[in-house]
Structure 1
Amino acid sequence: MSLLSIRNLSVTFATGRGPFRAVDKVDLDVATGELVAIVGESGSGKSVAMLAVMGLLPWTATVTADRLSFDGKDLLALSPRERRKIIGRDLAMIFQEPMSSLNPCFTVGFQLREAMAAHLDLDKAARQARAIELLELVGIPEPERRLKAFPHQLSGGMSQRVMIAMALACRPKLIIADEPTTALDVTIQAQILDLLLRLQKDSGVGLVLITHDMGVVAETAQRVCVHYAGQQVEMQPTRGLFRDPHHPYTSALLAALPERASGRILPSIPGVVPGLADRPAGCLFSPRCRFATQTCRTIPPPRAGAELGYALCHTPLVEGHPRGLKKLEVPA
């Protein structure tokens, strides 16, 4: 049984110009110990979908799903009190911006111990010992002194390590990491990712990694979900996705990577992601797709089966297809 199981998840926001569907019919399964990556442009609904799982969306959001379960529990059927017993203990999230996610009014130690006080049966001394252990685990020197520091006294890399320590505090079964290296320099990015992957491997937790870095995806993830304009357009095992992407958007996304550029001009995807007022009647990617037909522009595409990577496309790209998709090499 999957640790996290999502079927037909949709999130609609009420706006002054009418309802806007930010997430549209997303499916996802994550097993214990598995690392699943979610990729896509900014605004493609990656973070919103996972915030819906966490129950952290504002009141303007309406969340619907055929199934939204974690560890056998129906998250949609739980009361707020019952959900709070799970969120932060068994299901944790590392947020995108540590400097805005940490409360500037409280010390690092207070914020670390707060989750433990809510979810674990530990006395004050045991919570302090666990907080020191966590900071040591994520590689923060002088943990006793750092526990007394306020967030503004830490660097960006230190703050992100604190966020990881907070996520690990109650030994969760699943961690959602929302672009955990955003706004960090390249050296610190590598350190944070190495830390996350080592901790995930050592503890055996499931990990959902939201990222823009396809290199990290190629090296770490078992499966990849590709999002576009709120929809999940493809889902494949990592090796299959890099070797033979089946959706034109996935193909264009991989072709735009600098390391795949063959000429002096870096390939790009023309146009922009559709918003509230300019969503096409058919495939949402059709205005930017070089393979689009009149059918694509007028009729919403069906979802292909597992053999074609669940691609949301009228005619998924496959090796040898007349449209001539270039084969992409997979890192060894």
Structure 2
Amino acid sequence: MPLLEIENLSVDFETRSGLFRAVDGVSLSVDPREIVSIVGESGSGKSVSMLAIMGLLPPTARVSASKMRFEGVDMLTLSPRERRRVIGKDVSMIFQEPMTSLNPCFTVGFQIGETLKTHLGLGRAERKARSIELLSLVGIPEPERRLAAFPHQLSGGMSQRVMIAMAIACSPKLLIADEPTTALDVTIQAQILDLLLKLRDERGMALVLITHDMGVVAETAERVIVQYAGRQVEEAKTADLFRDPHHPYTAALLAALPERATADLLPSIPGMVPGQFNRPPGCLFEPRCAHAFDLCRTTPPVKAPAELGRALCHTPLVEGRPVSPKVPA
């Protein structure tokens, strides 16, 4: 049984101009101990999808789904109190900006201890001992002294490690890492990724990794989901996706990797992800796609068969060439 099952997740935001759909029909399943990566440009709905699962979207958001289950429990029917028993304990999240995710008014020890008190009911002495253990686990030197430090006294890499310590404090079964290496130098990025993989191996937790860095995906993920403009456009095992991407957007992302570039200038994808007021009537990627034709401009695509990565495209690519799918999913 999958640890997490999401089907047809959609998120709408109320704006002055009406509802804006930021996430449209996203489905996701994660097995125990599995590492799944969600990739795409900024504005693709990656973070919003996971924040919807965590219940951390603002009141202007409207979340709907055909299914949202964790360990077989229907999360759509849970009361707020019942949901809080799961979120933060069995399902935890590392947020994108460590420097702004930590409360500047409280010490590191207080913030980690608050998690332990809320979800595990530990006493003061137990919280301190566990906090020291957690800081040591994530590689922070002099952990006992760091308990008294405020966030502004920590570097970006150190703050990220504190966020990881808070996220794993209750030994979650599923950890969602939202751009865990953003704004960190290359050396620290490698250390953070190694730490997450080590924790997965030691604690048996599953990991959902949100990133736009295809290099990180290649090194860590077992399966990849590609999102564009709030929709899933391809899903495949990592090795298969890198060897033979089926959606033109996936192929364009991979072509922009420095190690794959053959010209003096890196390839780029023209244009930008469509927003609320410039969404094309047909395929959302059509204005930026080198393979678009008349049907793409007028008709939304349907998913291709599983062997073509369920690519959301009228003519998925096979070995770099567009072909028509034989049977829609």
TM-score, normalised on structure 2?
Answer: 0.96
Aligned partner of 2:253: which letter? L
Aligned partner of 1:268: which letter? S
Q: Displacement of 1:322 after TM fit?
A: 5.7
> Which deviations, in whole Å up to 9, do the C-alpha atoms of 1:47-104 show, x marking residues without a partner?
0000000000000000010011111111111111111111110000000011110001
Indicate yes or no: 2:22 matched with 1:29: no
Runs (5+) with no aligned partner, structure 2: 324-329
Query: Match for residue 9 of structure 1?
Result: 9
Matches within 5 A, 1:139-154: 139-154=139-154
RMSD of aligned C-alpha atoms? 1.1
Q: Displacement of 1:11 after TM fit?
A: 0.4
Q: Displacement of 1:197 after TM fit?
A: 1.2
Query: Match for residue 207 of structure 1?
Result: 207
Counterparts of 1:10 and 1:306, CA distance in 2: 22
Q: Displacement of 1:121 after TM fit?
A: 3.7
Sequence identity (%)? 72
Matches within 5 A, 1:89-128: 89-128=89-128
Q: Displacement of 1:213 after TM fit?
A: 1.4
SS at match of 1:77: coil
Matches within 5 A, 1:3-82: 3-82=3-82
SS at match of 2:105: coil
Query: Match for residue 267 of structure 1?
Result: 267
Q: Displacement of 1:275 after TM fit?
A: 0.9
CA contact (8 A) 2:244 2:320 kept: no
Counterparts of 2:321 and 2:183, CA distance in 1: 40
Q: Displacement of 1:280 after TM fit?
A: 0.6
How many corresponding residue pairs? 323
Q: Displacement of 1:308 after TM fit?
A: 1.0
Q: Displacement of 1:276 after TM fit?
A: 0.7
> Which deviations, in whole Å up to 9, do the C-alpha atoms of 1:3-43 show, x marking residues without a partner?
11110000000111221100010011111100000100001
Counterparts of 1:306 and 1:126, CA distance in 2: 50
Counterparts of 2:183 and 2:222, CA distance in 1: 26
SS at match of 1:53: helix
Counterparts of 2:256 and 2:183, CA distance in 1: 22
Query: Match for residue 329 of structure 1?
Result: none
Counterparts of 2:254 and 2:223, CA distance in 1: 15
Aligned partner of 2:167: which letter? A
Counterparts of 1:266 and 1:213, CA distance in 2: 15
Query: Match for residue 197 of structure 1?
Result: 197
Query: Match for residue 239 of structure 1?
Result: 239
Counterparts of 1:94 and 1:272, CA distance in 2: 27
Counterparts of 1:265 and 1:315, CA distance in 2: 28
> Which deviations, in whole Å up to 9, do the C-alpha atoms of 1:218-257 show, x marking residues without a partner?
1210000001011110000001100111100000110011
TM-score, normalised on structure 1?
Answer: 0.95
Runs (5+) with no aligned partner, structure 1: 324-332
Counterparts of 1:130 and 1:71, CA distance in 2: 27
